Every structure is written in structure tokens, then in C-alpha cells.
Amino acid sequence: MKLHSGTLSHGSAWLLAGLVAAPLTALVAAPAQAAEGKSFVENFDKLNTARWYISDGWANGDHQNCTWSKKQVSVKDGRLRLGFAKEKIKDRDYVCGEVQTNQRFSYGTFEVRMKAVAGSGLNTGFFTYIGPVHKQPHDEIDFEVLGKDPSKVQINRYVDGKSRGPADLVEVPGGADRDFHDYAFVWQKDRIAWYVDSKLGGEVTDPAVLPSHPSKIYLSVWGSDTLKSWMGAFSDPGQPLAAEVERVSFTAEGDACQFPESIVCKTQSQ
């Protein structure tokens, strides 16, 4: 359930009191829609602001205990770092990091190589989202590592603001917080397939319950004091934390594989 820059999401969290299936944040600060995105590979030699917008200065709702801060987003040694730290801004006691693409992307393969953070009440996410804040229906496809148990990653999708789950938990060999792992989902008109380290972790083939609107790509780390039944009771980590991302890519449907480790290479060769 991520209530990202512009949405509320995920699994049973929709059922929690006080939450609504509508954007709760001021993504109004985000840039206007550009032309639909093409295939790319981002290795984070720098933070390409033509591609990435940094969320800064707001929170997504009462459930979120941190304020998005551009100071929690950095690139060093070929890695994007998304931080979580104790710092009071406005009415939140913590700050956290999120980036989102300026462009929207349609059918194709979405991939990330990342290391998540551990800690009850924390969430590391890689997902696509579009919604009313963009004057579109709420569609979403998710990978979320819940820090209370980083041995697994949660997969889910939303269509017109409704979870089309149930959200499934997929094992991450060795733990999502211990090392870098590859997460990918293939989004087609009649299918979504999620992969963890090239192994199929979940699949849906009913077009009636699949997202259909071009969406933005998000990467984020955030915390919650209130979503205990989903994310666990929040525990102050006692020190700054950061998720790390080595690579993000999008390969449009029908385009060739862009790098050897891509799930596109593996599926095209089958």
C-alpha cells in the first residue's frame, strides 16, 4: 500500500481505517506530462534530471511519518541512494527519499537492481503508478519490500483504484536487504509477470484485472507509524538508512534486449 506521491496502495492496507483510495498528496509539484517514454537503461553515473523528478517537501498522507526530501536522494559510485533519517520537517519527525520519472511508460519490461532497507514500519518500493493527480484512473504495478521481513518482496497491482490481488509475497534469496537483487515485471495487454532474480514469482493473465494506462516509474523509501497490520510497528532505526539502486530499465514491448542480465534476454531466447 504505498501511498506514493499521489496514491494510496497495496494489499490489506486499503482496509485500514482512515485511508481512502485516492491521492492524498501534492504531486502538483511534478512536471507536466511529456511524450510517452521509450526504452532506456539507467546506470546512475549521475542523477539525470531530464529523466528523474525528485519528490521534495511533502508527505503522502497521515499514514506516512516522513517528509520527502531531496537531501535524501543522491548518486555516488554508480548507485542511487534513497535515504531515511531522523529530521523534523513540518509535522513529520523523519525525512525520506523518492524519485519518479518525468515520463510515462506503457507495455514492456520494467527492471531494477536494488538493495532494500530493513526495519519494522519501513517500505522500499519499485513500482509504476498513474492516478487522479495526473487526471487519470489509478493504475499501479508493485514491488515492495516490507522492512519487517526483508526475506520477501510483495507484488501487487491496482486497476482504477482497486487492488486486484491478493498481494503475494515472493522469497528473495538471501534477503532483499543483504545484497542487490534483480526485480522485473513484464507488463502486456493480457498479462503481467513478476520476476525475482530471473525466477518467475507471480503471473496474472486476465485482461479484465490488469492496468492499462501508461504510468510513471517510482523508487522510494518511507515509513509509517500507523500501518502496523501491514508494515509492522514502526521502530526508530537509530541511524540513517538508505536503499541503493544500481540500475533501472524499461524495455518497450517488441524492443531488443538492452543488457545481458535483463529478463528480456532470457525470455526472448526461450
pLDDT of residue 167: 79
Residue 40 has pLDDT above 90, yes or no: yes
Q: Which of 42, 111, 144, 244 is catalytic?
A: 144
pLDDT band (50, 70, 90) for residue 34: low
Domain count, the chain: 1
Poorest-pLDDT segment among 17-31, 91-105, 123-137: 17-31
pLDDT of residue 166: 65
Residue 99 has pLDDT above 70, yes or no: yes
Query: Whole-prediction pTM value?
Result: 0.89
Give which of 7, 11, 5, 38 is closest to 157, Cα–Cα: 11
pLDDT of residue 268: 78
pLDDT of residue 165: 72
pLDDT tens column, 61-93: 999 999 999 999 999 999 999 999 999 999 999
Domain CATH code at residue 22? 2.60.120.200
Q: How far apart are CA 181 and CA 44, in angstroms?
A: 16
In a domain, 122, yes or no: yes
pLDDT of residue 21: 30
Q: Is 203 a catalytic residue?
A: no
3-state secondary structure of 265: helix
Q: Is 144 a catalytic residue?
A: yes
In a domain, 2, yes or no: no
Classify residue 207 by burial, with Cβ atoms within 10 Å: 0-12, 13-18, 19+: exposed
Query: What whole-number percentage of the chain has pLDDT above 90?
Result: 80
Q: How far apart are CA 128 and CA 125, in angstroms?
A: 10
pLDDT tens column, 227-238: 999 999 999 999
Q: Which of 42, 140, 253, 261 is catalytic?
A: 140
Poorest-pLDDT segment among 48-57, 124-133, 159-168, 174-183: 159-168
In a domain, 224, yes or no: yes
Contact 84/238 with Cβ under 8 angstroms? no
Residue range of the domain that includes 240 = 11-268
Contact 215/141 with Cβ under 8 angstroms? yes
